[in-house]
Chain A
Amino acid sequence: MSKRDGGGDLRRFYIVFAAVALVGIGAVGYAVASRALGGAASVPVSLEGIEDPGRLMEMAVPVVDGDPNAPVTIMVFGDYLCGFCATFSLRERPRLLAEYVETGKARLVYYDFVLNPEMGSFLAARAARCAGDQGRFWEFHDHLHRTHLTWGMESGKVGIFQRYAEEMGLDVGEFRSCLNSDRHAVEVSANRELAQALGIPGTPAILVGTGQGMSRRVRDFFFDTIKEAVEPLLAVQG
């Protein structure tokens, strides 16, 4: 009796075991492979099929600092893993802010031109915009530039950015739910497409204009060079 029962027990056990193993391996495999389940979007979204430049401009929402009606627009294209972008953001931008943005002469319009998405700069761009949802974009932006040599080399960037958010006193739950999703993925991807469509060769790239007609690309990112481009525009605007 017991041999047969034992065999029956074992058969039933192996059926249950195989079912648990199959479901479990399937679930783990799916969870690992799928970004849909709580994953943070870390690579650009495909925008294929969006041929209309107007639509691309609409989707490529920049981050704007300063008076929207300022006579001059300074457009900045940057990447968070670019060393010169860090130099521009931490050294030159404060001078631009003091001289032009805070005085209402110009507004600064920032576009993400993610050059190294697989190295984490797409995630960083989204993280900065998630901080921006809480009104702290520029602070986070500068912090990412200050620390890019650290987080750029580390794995677990989501955790690192969450720690930065925590250190800055952001609402970490809100930041986390933003980062662990695909929020801002389309804007950042469209920013990148726009930069490519404009033929921007690299970062940081600075363009200045009056908001009407073509903008002119400045040959480098130093304050004095940008000033040389901005002053004539201000003179024309009166």
Chain B
Amino acid sequence: MGRGSEPGVQPPPRNRMVVSILALLGLLVSLYMLAHALGLAAGTLMCGLGDCEKVQDSPYAWIGPAPVSGLGVVGYLALLLVALLGLHPPFQQSRAVPLILLGGSVVGVGFSAYLTYLEAFVIQAWCQWCVASAVIMVLLFLACLPEGRALRSPAGS
């Protein structure tokens, strides 16, 4: 229940607003990297810090036929859509929303940790965009933590 609200009406959860903004930022970063990975962009990846080309040209930048940045686009887009839906009454009370947000952000943080490990110890080069995405994902995970309360609640609200 919201802060002294009318019965049955709750304010939109603030954490989902934060999740939406962070997912949007992550989506933009991933889209930029995907455009370069697919050769849609002219020139090279802008890279003030680190060696983005070395990271992008490494075999770890692709998982089979899919560029890692493509997975980022799909993941952030899914989190963004779910977080936006979760702001509105029909989905505010749904248990699926906290489940997807928490589960997705846990998977995202895990995958980001793996990519960061690869950069640090295997490729031995940093890509500022990958680091930015990892930071966004950690913040997104933190913003998703309050969803745990909704999951524990018997009413699912």
- B-binding residues in A (CB < 8 A): 1-3, 5-6, 9-10, 13, 16-17, 20-21, 24-25, 27-28, 31-35, 37-40, 42, 155-156, 158-160, 162-163, 176, 180
Q: B57 is contacted by which of A21, A42, A156 (Cβ under 8 Å)?
A: A156
Is A32's CB under 8 angstroms from B35's CB?
yes
Contact with A along B20-49 (1 / 0, CB 8 A): 110011001001100110011111111110
Q: A1 is contacted by which of B5, B10, B32, B45 (Cβ under 8 Å)?
A: B5
Chain A, interface SS category = helix
A/B interface sample: 5 pairs, CB < 8 A: A6-B12, A28-B28, A158-B44, A160-B57, A176-B53
Measured in the bound complex, the distance between the Cα atoms of B14 and A148 in whole Å is 56
CB distance from B129 to the nearest CB of A (A): 11
B17 at the interface (CB under 8 A from A): yes
Contact with A along B66-108 (1 / 0, CB 8 A): 0000000000000000000001000000000000000000000
Is B43's CB under 8 angstroms from A40's CB?
yes
B120 at the interface (CB under 8 A from A): no
CB distance from B148 to the nearest CB of A (A): 22
Measured in the bound complex, the distance between the Cα atoms of B4 and A21 in whole Å is 33
Chain B, interface SS category = loop
Contact with A along B109-142 (1 / 0, CB 8 A): 0000000000000000000000000000000000
By a CB distance below 8 angstroms, the chain B residues around A159 are 53-54, 56-57
CB distance from B46 to the nearest CB of A (A): 4
Is A163's CB under 8 angstroms from B57's CB?
yes
Is B87's CB under 8 angstroms from A158's CB?
no
Is B11's CB under 8 angstroms from A17's CB?
no
Measured in the bound complex, the distance between the Cα atoms of B99 and A104 in whole Å is 78
Is A34's CB under 8 angstroms from B3's CB?
no
| B88, closest chain A residue (CB) | A10
Given A2-B6, A3-B5, A24-B24, A37 and B46 touching (CB < 8 A)? yes
B63 at the interface (CB under 8 A from A): no
B2 at the interface (CB under 8 A from A): yes
| B39, closest chain A residue (CB) | A155
By a CB distance below 8 angstroms, the chain B residues around A33 are 41-42
Is B53's CB under 8 angstroms from A24's CB?
no
CB distance from A224 to the nearest CB of B (A): 42
CB distance from B73 to the nearest CB of A (A): 12
| B18, closest chain A residue (CB) | A13
| A8, closest chain B residue (CB) | B11
Measured in the bound complex, the distance between the Cα atoms of B108 and A222 in whole Å is 59
Given A2-B2, A17-B21, A38-B44, A32 and B32 touching (CB < 8 A)? yes
Measured in the bound complex, the distance between the Cα atoms of B39 and A42 in whole Å is 13
By a CB distance below 8 angstroms, the chain B residues around A17 are 17, 20-21, 24
By a CB distance below 8 angstroms, the chain B residues around A25 are 28
Measured in the bound complex, the distance between the Cα atoms of B134 and A220 in whole Å is 57
Measured in the bound complex, the distance between the Cα atoms of B25 and A156 in whole Å is 25
| A3, closest chain B residue (CB) | B9
| A43, closest chain B residue (CB) | B42
